[in-house]
Amino acid sequence: MADTDSFIVEMADRMFAGLADPQTIILSRSDAWKQRLWPELEQTGLTLAWVPEALGGAGAPMEEAFGVLRAAGRAALAAPLAETMLAGWLLAQANIAAPSGPMTVVPATPDAAPLTIDSRGRLGGCARQVPFGAEAGHFAVLAQGPDGLAVALVRAADAEVAPGFGLGGDPANTVSFTDVVPVRIAAVDLAVEDLMLMGAVARAQQIAGALETMLALSVRYAMDRVAFEKPIAKFQAVQHNLARLGGEAAAAVAVAASAADTISETGVTGEAALLEAASAKIRASEAAETGAAIAHQTHGAIGFTDEHILHRLTLRALGWRDDFGNETWWSVRLGQFVATGGDQRLWPLLASR
């Protein structure tokens, strides 16, 4: 599905351009834009796009909601839209209605110590690097209960949230639960890896979107910047770098879109979902590293200044690499899958993609 063909994605692009323009945000030197943006996001249903209508959500097609995340990446959106969408999705898996307001999911890293729900229904444990934990009104928590994994809806006010920030400057917090009574608890037929997989595809889409904007900015700057009496885009070395950046952006877009389509068709369980999601997170993360370096090399010193928008894209793309399993973790997981199944299982799966 090409996200440019989606009315929902076009609407999201217009909304982000009007209410979350990176240059306007930099010049404003405040977060007042978030107070204007969030009501609009909720009114359009984007925050609960993956929540069925029966549970109070928009019930939007999954692939179109993934396209919205790519649009958010293009805008380097510094608001918990992806986190709220993921939280709504997780709650929906347990048939729990999602509340209004910003949310985030816990845990957000695959190697986190298990969170637990005891026989009294009390939640305990600690999770690190929770994206936008400090801005969330509720947490959707996947925890180990007495009878298996369960999803808990928890008020942020009932947890301890330590200050912290990610590479892009957005909140990334340690969240502690001490004998917390959740708002709702329900059993769920999911594994922690399923949540990581869904989050990995979401981050791959955001990275792909950020790379699209990095490419557009770099090409425009190279056409405008004059050195030795001609645009630097005329120099072969710059052309070569821009071609590489274009290749990295195209690769990230392709793998992220393929993974999103697979998840939309098959869900988060199954071999195809694992292959696609792992490949998407690995390749998009690699593209973020290479693409960010080329974009900054093209812009020179101006791209590092606080007044330029490039750093909002590159730092967030690099930070998104670590959420829901970095490329090293997913490479190991993909290697385990290949080694366990052997070529007789792998080749038919590859040929079918």
Q: What is the CATH number of the domain that holds 241?
A: 1.20.140.10
Interval 125-130 mean pLDDT? 97
Do 204 and 347 reside in the same domain of the chain? Answer: yes
Residue 84, in any domain of the structure:
no
Q: How far apart are CA 231 and CA 299, in angstroms?
A: 13
Do 178 and 243 reside in the same domain of the chain? Answer: no
Q: Structure pTM?
A: 0.95
Residue 288, in any domain of the structure:
yes
8 Å CB contact between 98 and 53: no
Q: Above 50 in pLDDT, residue 4?
A: no
Binning pLDDT at 50, 70 and 90, where does residue 2 land?
A: very low
**Strands 226-227 and 184-187, sheet pairing:** unpaired
Backbone Cα Rg of the chain: 20
Do 199 and 282 reside in the same domain of the chain? Answer: yes
Do 319 and 220 reside in the same domain of the chain? Answer: yes
Interval 304-319 mean pLDDT? 96
Residue 341, in any domain of the structure:
yes
Amino acid at 279: S
Residue 88, in any domain of the structure:
no
Residue 94, in any domain of the structure:
no
What are the start-end ranges of the H helices in the chain? 7-19, 22-28, 32-44, 62-74, 81-93, 192-224, 236-266, 271-299, 310-320, 327-341, 343-351
Binning pLDDT at 50, 70 and 90, where does residue 323 land?
A: very high
8 Å CB contact between 201 and 66: yes
Q: Domain boundary residue among 125, 158, 189?
A: 189
Do 213 and 289 reside in the same domain of the chain? Answer: yes
- Cα dist from 316 to 57, 179, 238, 311, whole Å: 28, 34, 24, 8
Query: Which residues constitute the domain of residue 322?
Result: 192-351
Residue 82, in any domain of the structure:
no
Do 174 and 208 reside in the same domain of the chain? Answer: no
8 Å CB contact between 281 and 200: yes
8 Å CB contact between 273 and 263: yes
Q: Above 70 in pLDDT, residue 347?
A: yes
C-alpha torsion angle, residues 227, 228, 233, 239 (rounded to 10): -110
Minimal CA–CA distance to 265: which of 255, 254, 276? 276
Residue whose structure tokens are 């925890």: 143
8 Å CB contact between 125 and 115: yes
Residue 95, in any domain of the structure:
no
Q: How far apart are CA 154 and CA 183, in angstroms?
A: 6
Do 197 and 346 reside in the same domain of the chain? Answer: yes
Chain centroid to CA 321: how far?
9
Do 264 and 165 reside in the same domain of the chain? Answer: no
Q: If you average pLDDT over every residue of the chain, what do you get?
A: 94
Do 163 and 245 reside in the same domain of the chain? Answer: no
Q: How many CB atoms lie within 10 A of CB 342?
A: 9
Q: How far apart are CA 245 and CA 255, in angstroms?
A: 16
Number of domains in the chain: 3
Binning pLDDT at 50, 70 and 90, where does residue 5 land?
A: low
Do 324 and 196 reside in the same domain of the chain? Answer: yes
Interval 152-165 mean pLDDT? 98
